[in-house]
A and B are shown apart, each in its own frame.
Chain A
Amino acid sequence: MIGVLGELLLTTGVVMMLFVTWQMWFGDMIIGSQKQAEASALAQQWQAGAPVAPSGSDGAAGDPGVVPVLAEPGRGAEFGVMHVPRFGPDWQFTIASGTAKKAILDEGYIGHYDGSAMPGAEGNMAVAAHRWTSGAPFDPVDRLVIGDAIVVQTQDGWYTYRFRNVEYVQDTAIEVLNPVPQQVDLAANGRFLTLTSCAPKLNMLERIISYAVFDEFTPTADGPPASLTEGVDA
């Protein structure tokens, strides 16, 4: 009887160590690839559902210079997919509305801060995602290089932002979410994208904040933009 108890305890210990191993090295790969497959399906669905561009006219899309902006959807709605060529051709995660920890972030979504700008809109589009656990969408966020494309795809098309700079802040630095990041009482004067995540990795002492500025919009009907596949020498 004692022997069986001992074996059970040993087995429990081994399983717990296996869990730590999984959490550290395998879980994000397994969950992440699942989340990326879901994001890919969503992106392809938008692309397939796009109206064919009427040749020689702009159709309903209006002026090519006008960037369509979605209305902010209800919490939890999956309204975008983020692609970053720097992180690999398969790196894509779904952007959902809101940053609730359990419902959004822990589900492997990139969460869009309530009230922050929508893709393409004047102001600051701020998003958050896990750097570790739950598929860890922003695991590689510290590998961005100046000028890297960060492409946000919605049903309307692709919004290409260009990475500009990174900074590390305290977790109280909510100014990074301002219409002009880090500027108090300044009205929006550009289109920014702000990625927030944890730093150092496996830790929550500080936050890593990556800023990007809007570059161009490509309607769905025009097909994927070059920024999506631009060669990145790793």
Chain B
Amino acid sequence: MYAALWRILPGPSWIRVVLLLILAAAALYALFFWVFPAVAPFFAPGEESTVG
């Protein structure tokens, strides 16, 4: 999977590294600002409690 990603990316190694870092940052942003806020309610602690 990651090997395929490495092959798909163009350019010399250092460009691929930079591109991978950018992709990782984009993935991190998507997780932190969209995915995690959306799923957080399902992991809310203390379902039985009034205040958490």
Chain A residues in the interface with B (C-beta under 8 A): 3-4, 7-8, 15, 18-19, 22-23, 26-27, 30-31, 99, 101-102, 105-106, 128-134, 171, 196-198, 204, 207
| B46 engages A204 (CB within 8 Å) | yes
A105 to B45, CA, bound (A): 12
19 further interface pairs, Cβ-Cβ under 8 Å (given A8-B1, A23-B36, A133-B52): A7-B1, A15-B31, A18-B32, A19-B39, A22-B32, A23-B40, A26-B32, A27-B37, A30-B32, A101-B44, A101-B52, A102-B41, A106-B44, A128-B50, A131-B52, A171-B49, A197-B51, A198-B49, A204-B45
Most central of B31, B39, B40, B47 by chain A CB within 10 Å: B40
Chain A residues in 8 Å Cβ range of B14: none
Q: Mark B1-30, 1 if CB is under 8 A from A, else 0.
A: 111000000000000000000000000100
| A204 engages B32 (CB within 8 Å) | no
| A27 engages B36 (CB within 8 Å) | yes
| B52 engages A130 (CB within 8 Å) | yes
| A132 engages B52 (CB within 8 Å) | yes
With contact pairs A133-B45, A134-B44 given, residues A22 and B52 touching in the complex (Cβ less than 8 Å) = no
Chain B residues in the interface with A (C-beta under 8 A): 1-3, 28, 31-33, 36-37, 39-41, 43-47, 49-52
Chain A residues in 8 Å Cβ range of B43: 19, 23
With contact pairs A18-B28, A204-B46 given, residues A198 and B33 touching in the complex (Cβ less than 8 Å) = no
A129 to B52, CA, bound (A): 8
Interface SS majority for chain B: helix
Chain A residues in 8 Å Cβ range of B37: 27, 30-31
Chain B residues in 8 Å Cβ range of A22: 31-32, 36
Chain B residues in 8 Å Cβ range of A129: 51
Chain B residues in 8 Å Cβ range of A30: 32-33, 37
| A106 engages B51 (CB within 8 Å) | no
Question: Can you name 25 A-B pairs with beta carbons within 8 Å?
Answer: A3-B3, A15-B31, A18-B36, A19-B31, A22-B31, A22-B32, A23-B36, A27-B37, A30-B37, A31-B37, A101-B47, A106-B41, A130-B51, A131-B51, A131-B52, A132-B52, A133-B40, A133-B45, A134-B40, A196-B51, A197-B51, A198-B49, A204-B46, A204-B49, A204-B52
| A99 engages B52 (CB within 8 Å) | no
